[in-house]
Amino acid sequence: MESINNIAKAHGGVSVFGGVDERTHQGNDLYMEMKESGVINEQNLVESKVARVYGHMNEPPGAHMRVGLTALTLVEYFQDVNEQDVLLFIDNIFHFIEVGSEPRRRKELFDFGQIDSELHRALRTRKPNESMWDIEYRLAIGARQLYLRRIDSMRRHMR
């Protein structure tokens, strides 16, 4: 919440929050905090400094993946159309990568290899705030590496 406040008030940017994880029922608490701090203005939504995207907890993995991709689309809009600095939060990035790599039952779902390119696409800007994006991108890559180590460990134990 502190980072969202700083981006909104000190830098004039906007934050995008993608609730990908199963704990999105906590979104109401987060909403109330944002409303109290003035980041969300219910009277004039144009003045709000955060966009939030959530999925339902009982949705299949593909729907959770789409929540993350919708958040990335919003990031692109704010960067390319509004030319704003954007801070992207995905709760949780590990779950975003995990649902993107689960076995596919339908063709239109993303495969694991495309997640990096989607994140990279969203991280390019006309006026990049490199320190902020560098941190976010490193978090995403770190989560991917953690996930790959977890898969390797599981394979070793299954032999």
Structure tokens at 56: 């339902």
Domain ranges of the chain: 2-158
More confident residue, 91 or 24: 91
Q: Under 8 Å CB-to-CB from 74, ≥6 apart: which residues? A: 16, 51, 53
Q: What is the pLDDT of residue 103?
A: 54
**Residue that the structure tokens 């977890």 belong to:** 150
Instruction: Name the pLDDT band for 109 (thresholds 50, 70, 90).
Output: very low
Q: Please, what is the average pLDDT of the chain?
A: 68
List, for residues 130-155, the tens digit of each pLDDT value.
445 454 555 555 566 666 666 666 66
Q: What is the pLDDT of residue 22?
A: 59
List, for residues 22-67, the tens digit of each pLDDT value.
565 677 778 888 888 888 888 887 788 888 888 777 777 667 777 7
Beta-carbon neighbour count of residue 18 at 10 Å? 27
Torsion of CA 146, 108, 63, 110, to 10 degrees: 10
